[in-house]
Chain A
């Protein structure tokens, strides 16, 4: 791989393995890479290792083996494991993890070096929550909490955005709008994003590319546009027919 390529890649992992109990592997020999400015969906049924992959990228868990390179810098290998606050990564948690004792403005300003009111308002405006800054998390709806979590994650300007099942707590009527908004915001800010889901429709609507996980292994990767086309494309790492069957199986498992 050339240096030029290295610079364009925001994430590269090599041989990533993680076990929580020393016997069963939540993730095994995981190889993924993502270019700057792209959105990647990690798809798989429950227990397939999706959340584990995200936690390893964020530095919240340590792998048994393998390495992670973020923005050209090795952040995890056998010798070191950079703490989460030194990785330039932001994460939206599945249950949002908003700080219950802080109001919306304080939540959003939390990660800013110098949290000015204008900057907080700009972010709240971006996620469509202008005027809600004095409210506390428990006073907001699920969709609003999700937007606060997104604004809070964007505030420190991370280069890579990780989203852990960001739509799982939203009802169907909200999902479509928020999916579109999320894609717009990520593209507008020229970020890279990895989000996990077990809903193929989430992935098809937002992601540029997809990674399929099953029992801790990457079983396929593809570009969203190729999956939507009928003919086989060079970006698909497996036979297209095989991939379709796999996608159906994964979706079936997820259901």
Chain B
């Protein structure tokens, strides 16, 4: 008998059981998707595999690759420019470079069509100044890659900022003394050391690309996610949609594996005793000056100024919306939903962090990591999983007890909240876990030895010290929920209208100008929160 089995009774506590409960609760949607594979494919599966599957796969691969490469170029060069070079207004630029993240991909997509498309702003400007109208066809795979990269590059930028600003100044001095030029230092030292950060950023970009529905649908590009929606809504074949979702999960697992593989066994830890890169910032001159302008100017102009300008142009032509009460009402609903989701994620994340700390059973340790996998699962899959599991529960109670509880699940705010919690739990969990690791165990252990039980030590010692991490967890989930589209679209209660839904619905109806006010309000709310978060983080660098 091994020790683990012998001690199973001794080491099982109420905390282990609670952890198991939370783990199972968070696993429901994925389990339902995987279990339903056993039921076999739906009627349209043969048709899908024959005519669409390769196209979904090809488009998704090209999108992931294209957006990954473009967002890496944009994110790395901008991060290097602001970390390495000093220039007027640098501090403002550092923070502005995060802001394209406030523009949801689908809104960026509408703005570009409004600017470049037939009868768009560019054509009008050209007509005004007497040029022949160019009318660029933008609604294709290339256009989609461009808009997705512009609104997602901040993931790469943010992680590279951390990596570059943490490089010791001594590395640069050592490299210069060994005769390396600035360019060689960048390519042979700084860039390789930032590899894990770049891989981490690109991984998040990949997840967002696979999750995207609004932009791809609007540009008419068939991807896995649009395919799942189409199979489900237009072909009304939930089983085939589930099969597509399972294939997409495979795709995600490959991405997770590759991101781990890329890290390998190399060490990327640097030890600094001589200050960091930021203390050695230099003024760019000559051709370097233009490179810096290009590196920060390109994402700022194409990712922020152009789409915002287009949205403002539309709003100026639709003054009625600007002051309407309905916009305020939609905004309020969005705020309430996002706050509720943020609180739900925070509570679940706290439960996961502490229950897994208190649990003594090795066999349950992976639960906390598995429960936060939702961030890598596209909204369409979570939507299918949530609806599938709701159906199972409703049928179970109807068949066994004759209870009709469908109203609690279908189109209910609670189910939407659950789905948000599943998708964004990782966003709240990671800052809390990191902060807990930083605090270490001894503070709680000291409280236990002074007579506290787990919950009293949590209330008196650990939670008060976790407040900063809890605030940033709340903010991050709030931002993600405000921007979220596919899940909200699938699961929202009939009478709920959010800013993202309002912007999407108007744009789908080709009323782009009417989509602008909710889109702008959404961007404004997200930008305020992002600005305050990046302000706090950047103040430390």
- The chain A residues found within 8 Å of chain B, CB to CB, are 58-60, 62, 64-65, 78-81, 83-85, 89-91, 93, 95, 97-101, 110-111, 113, 152-153, 155-156
Contact = CB atoms under 8 A, between A and B. Distances in A.
10 contacts: A60-B449, A65-B3, A79-B9, A81-B10, A83-B448, A85-B451, A93-B442, A99-B461, A101-B464, A111-B449
Contact of B445 (A93, A98, A153): A93
Interface string B421-455: 00000000000000000000111011111111100
Given A93-B446, A99-B443, A156 B451 contact: yes
B175 interface: no
B445 A84 contact: yes
A111 B442 contact: no
Contacts of A60: 441, 445, 448-449
Contact of A152 (B442, B448, B450, B464): B450
A113 B451 CA distance: 9
Contacts of B448: 59-60, 83-85
A64 B450 contact: no
A156 B450 contact: yes
A60 B450 CA distance: 13
Contacts of B441: 60
Interface in B262-296: none
Contacts of A81: 10-11
A155 B6 CA distance: 37
B464 A110 contact: no
Contacts of B450: 85, 90, 110-111, 152-153, 155-156
Given A111-B450, A156-B451, A78 B445 contact: no
B432 to A, nearest CB: 17
Contacts of A59: 448
Nearest to B465: A101
Contacts of B464: 101
A125 B464 CA distance: 29
B465 A64 contact: no
A62 B449 contact: no
A81 B10 CA distance: 7
B443 A97 contact: yes
B7 interface: yes
B442 to A, nearest CB: 4
B465 A111 contact: no
A59 B464 CA distance: 25
B447 A110 contact: yes
Nearest to A149: B446
B11 A85 contact: no
Contacts of A156: 450-451
Contacts of B442: 93, 95, 97
B360 interface: yes
B14 to A, nearest CB: 12
A62 B7 contact: yes
A111 to B, nearest CB: 3
Interface in B445-479: 445-453, 460-461, 464-465
B414 to A, nearest CB: 36
A138 to B, nearest CB: 13
Contacts of A91: 445-446, 449
Contact of A97 (B3, B446, B452, B460): B446
The winner among B360, B446, B453, B465 for most chain A CB atoms within 10 A is B446
B465 A97 contact: no
Nearest to A76: B10
